[in-house]
Amino acid sequence: MLYLENENDDYANVLASIDGFSDGLGIKDLDIDLNEVAHVLKSMRHQFPAQGGSEMASPFKKAANFLCYFVSQQPIKNPFPESSVGSILVQITNHQNSMLGLYIAFDALHEATIKRNDGDITLHNKISLSKHSYVDTVQACAVLTPSSHFHLVSVFLEQMCYRANPEASYKIAF
């Protein structure tokens, strides 16, 4: 879904996600800066802050890098209305990019495959959150930047995936 062989396929998939998500929220008009979307997808691939680059990274690191760039570049220009996201999230600056970035990262991680020495593991279960945790997560992610938050977000996504897919976790050591 992301980091595909052809960068244009990433672009199409992200636009399809933005279109569907906003449609589901009941939003008719959404201002999308297409240049920023393209910039996000280039940056996440070519400025990958982990050894081996994106080609050798886990899906958690890939999703984290996408999320950090998406939120910091802010390709969605207008906030979502209160009628779609409620009275709490509407007050959070940049909630629209945080919500969409999180959605795309979560959807990408669903059915992602982790390649390990002991075999491949697929994340069959989606990340799921309570309303309370979701609101807190959107707020926390609304200020992400790649340089400051990539590693923390990567661990955060990894742990949420492990909660939904306990068999995918490495053996608990302590």
Partner 1 sequence: MRIVESEGIIVFEILNSVDRPLGSDEKLTVANPAAKAVACNAQGVFKNKGIMEINKTAIDFGRNISKVLTT
The verdict on 59 binding partner 1 (CB under 8 A) reads: yes
Calculated CA dihedral for residues 126, 127, 131, 133, nearest 10 degrees: 180
Write the CA distances from 149 to 13, 66, 144, 146, integer angstroms.
24, 12, 6, 6
**C-beta neighbour count of 108 within 10 angstroms:** 21
Q: For partner 1, which residue of 39, 79, 103, 125 counts as binding (CB under 8 A)?
A: 103
> Which residues have a Cβ under 8 Å from the Cβ of 111 and sit 6 or more positions away?
122, 123, 124
Q: How big is the site for partner 1, counted in residues (CB under 8 A)?
A: 59
Q: How far is the CB of 27 from partner 1 (least distance, A)?
A: 8
The verdict on 153 binding partner 1 (CB under 8 A) reads: no
Which residue lies nearer to partner 1 by CB, 8 or 169? 8
Measure CA 129 to chain center: 14
Q: How far is the CB of 155 from partner 1 (least distance, A)?
A: 15
Q: For partner 1, which residue of 41, 89, 127, 153 counts as binding (CB under 8 A)?
A: 89
- SS3 label, residue 130: coil
The verdict on 147 binding partner 1 (CB under 8 A) reads: no
Q: For partner 1, which residue of 40, 41, 62, 146 counts as binding (CB under 8 A)?
A: 62
Query: Which residue's entry shows tokens 């999308």?
Result: 32
Residue 153: closest CA among 24, 29, 63, 33: 63
The verdict on 40 binding partner 1 (CB under 8 A) reads: no
Residues 118-137 binding partner 1 (CB under 8 A) are: 131, 134-135
Q: For partner 1, which residue of 39, 42, 58, 140 counts as binding (CB under 8 A)?
A: 58
The verdict on 46 binding partner 1 (CB under 8 A) reads: no
Tokens coding 128: 């799921």
Which residue lies nearer to partner 1 by CB, 18 or 144? 18
